[in-house]
């Protein structure tokens, strides 16, 4: 018998995006409600540019994050009345996998 657990997140539960610097490990959580893309252009600690190493077509990473947040907020608004929308929408995430001891 296979047992599966599903983890779903309601859009109204999304409150922030967490960024962790791959160079120094500093973690920054930016509130979705007041996202300022300037906050994620570089690490606030070591000043490592974020997005600079990505393919040039994707280099404006902060703008992509802004687009995702705007899209999520639009979906949240559009589906806030499940009777009018005809459905509810949640995000499903992969469960954490822990290594055996």
How far does CA 4 lie from the centroid of its chain? Answer: 24
Closest CA to 44 of 21, 60, 65, 63: 21
* Residue 37 three-state SS: helix
pLDDT of residue 100: 60
> How many Cβ atoms are within 10 Å of 40's Cβ, its own excluded?
19
pLDDT of residue 24: 92
The model scores a pTM over 0.75 = no
| Domain residue ranges of the chain, discontinuous segments joined by + | 7-92
Q: What is the pLDDT of residues 24-47, one digit of tens each?
A: 999 888 888 887 877 778 889 998
CB-neighbour burial class of residue 22 (10 A; exposed 0-12, middle 13-18, buried 19+)? exposed
pLDDT of residue 60: 56
């Amino acid at each position: 018998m296979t047992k599966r657990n599903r983890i779903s997140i309601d859009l109204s539960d999304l409150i922030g995006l967490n960024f962790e610097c791959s160079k120094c490990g500093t973690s920054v959580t930016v509130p979705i409600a007041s996202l300022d893309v300037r906050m994620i252009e570089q690490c606030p600690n070591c000043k490592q540019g974020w997005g600079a190493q990505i393919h040039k077509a994707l280099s404006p990473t902060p703008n992509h994050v802004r687009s995702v947040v705007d899209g999520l907020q639009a979906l949240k608004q559009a589906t806030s009345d499940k009777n009018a929308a005809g459905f509810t929408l949640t995000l499903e995430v992969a469960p954490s996998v822990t290594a055996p001891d």
